[in-house]
Chains A and B, each alone.
Chain A
Amino acid sequence: GAVVSQHPSRVICKSGTSVKIECRSLDFQATTMFWYRQFPKQSLMLMATSNEGSKATYEQGVEKDKFLINHASLTLSTLTVTSAHPEDSSFYICSASQGAGGQETQYFGPGTRLLVL
């Protein structure tokens, strides 16, 4: 149980294009999903918290107009990198939260590697 998928697993795009990444909880409903970015050999950096049916909460320093997050259902959140540039190249990982009342556990997707040329 508690499986989270991401699509695509890898994407290469030209500078200036937009890229959409999907995150799905396959066998549970997730009111809250999270989006992270990971640079090589570093820990995860939380970008935003995505709540179903409401606006995402972005961490300080993350451009909300550049990284658009939509959480349309209890099993799907999407991250769109708008007008991507080479500096946006990174490994993007989502997670979905299961549980409640202080017993939440985050389950992570396999990640999406984005390369912007």
Chain B
Amino acid sequence: GNSVTQMEGPVTLSEEAFLTINCTYTATGYPSLFWYVQYPGEGLQLLLKATKADDKGSNKGFEATYRKETTSFHLEKGSVQVSDSAVYFCALSGGGSEKLVFGKGTKLTVNP
């Protein structure tokens, strides 16, 4: 079945540091890939997505590229801010199902 494995946290960085959160997946066919962000006490917000190989999703300075050859969708940001502190979830859907399969989440804390 489909599955998502993402880097375990927590991750703690200083402001303006470079961020990478690794995400790899197992899926049949060509899934769509997503990154969601959850701020404390809130629901999930779609951060970015990619629906086919080599697509790059980007939003708010975050980027992730759909790499079919390595089955990866790593999240990157060149310079993090304190306001980026949150939990980040990698997810996929596909195989004829709209259901999302989530990774376990990675908590990011950015210190001033």
State the A residues within 8 Å of B (CB): 2, 4, 6, 32, 34, 42-44, 46, 49, 93, 95, 97, 102-111, 113
Contacts and interface: CB of A to CB of B under 8 A. Distances in A.
B104 interface: yes
19 contacts: A4-B43, A34-B99, A42-B104, A42-B105, A43-B102, A44-B102, A46-B100, A49-B98, A97-B98, A103-B32, A104-B32, A104-B98, A105-B32, A105-B49, A106-B100, A108-B43, A110-B42, A110-B43, A111-B43
Contacts of B34: 105
A106 B42 CA distance: 16
Contacts of B104: 42-43
A112 to B, nearest CB: 9
B44 interface: yes
A104 B45 contact: no
B94 A102 contact: yes
A49 B99 contact: yes
Contacts of A109: 43
A111 B99 CA distance: 18
Nearest to B102: A43
A6 B99 contact: no
Contact of B45 (A43, A102, A108): A108
Contact of A32 (B46, B51, B98, B103): B98
